[in-house]
Amino acid sequence: MEHFISIDQLSKQEIFQLLEDAQMYQMKKMQISKQLFVANLFFEPSTRTKMSFTVAERRLGLEVLDFHAEASSLAKGETLYDTVKTFESIGANALVIRHEADQWIEELEHITIPIINAGAGTREHPTQGMLDLLTIYQEFNTFENLNIVIVGDIKHSRVANSNAHTLQRLGANVYLSAAPGYEDESLPFPYITIDEAVEFCHVVMMLRIQHERHVEKHDTKQYLEQFGLTKEREQRMLSKAIILHPAPVNRGVEMDSDLVECSRSRIFKQMNNGVFMRMAILTHVLQKWGIINENLVKEC
């Protein structure tokens, strides 16, 4: 059975089914009528992703096994593998893992319960990618021929990695925009300036500068004016264009603080969508592994 590690492993049909399921969870209160335990193993700080998963799990009626790395046996030298094996052994039915390493899943490939990737280093963030897809789809009802630009610290962004290829696969025209030194040349998409992007893009997806992943610290004093989304640039955007950001937002750095909650912003809608998309993903994974069937997911 496959763990939920990348959107790339999903067919187009599966992607659209997840979008449909997430929207169903927004409209109906659904629960799984079976006692199941899900462990949230977050080895990196997280507010939105961890709390979103927690709310999603509780909405589904799942038992949440919380985990605090600083108070765990990691302090005694326990490995990621042994931590995961512990939860598998005590009866967890699924694991949600965020870890700072890019390749952590490779040492867990033989774990016999499903694993959902909640963030792998700079490599993947598939549940964020899926909630971004949901937000875009709700706005435009299609991905075909949408012009979408991803702006910011592309080099260190797992969000950029998860989104760019999938959006292209679904028919969007994908562009990247980054300050010098923030590019990722491994991504085969054209780079444009932020001034070019605002003139024709339907979606402007901003990214945080990830200082914690930089070997050298960069001066961000002039970043907003040179490379970010200012109020002047926002006024030049297409009439129906929207602003996305996975958050947390460095207000006044990658975008003007006033734009975080402007009429174009869908940042807090993304957060809301995250709960329902993660409900859909949890159900999808549990069904795929045969832990539940569709008859156990009931409206209540």
Annotated binding site for carbamoyl phosphate: 48-49, 98, 125, 128, 247-248
Residue spans of alpha helices (H) in the chain: 12-27, 48-59, 80-90, 126-140, 158-169, 194-200, 223-227, 231-234, 267-288
Q: How far apart are CA 203 and CA 264, in angstroms?
A: 10
Give Cα 12 to chain centroid, integer Å.
18
Is residue 116 within 8 Å of residue 4, measured between CB atoms? yes
Three-state DSSP state, 72 = coil
Annotated binding site: 48-49, 76, 98, 125, 128, 158, 208, 247-248
Annotated binding site for L-aspartate: 76, 158, 208
Task: Read off the tokens for 10.
Answer: 């999903």
DSSP secondary structure string for all residues of 226-260? HHSB-HHHHTTS-TT-EEE--S---BTTTB-GGGT
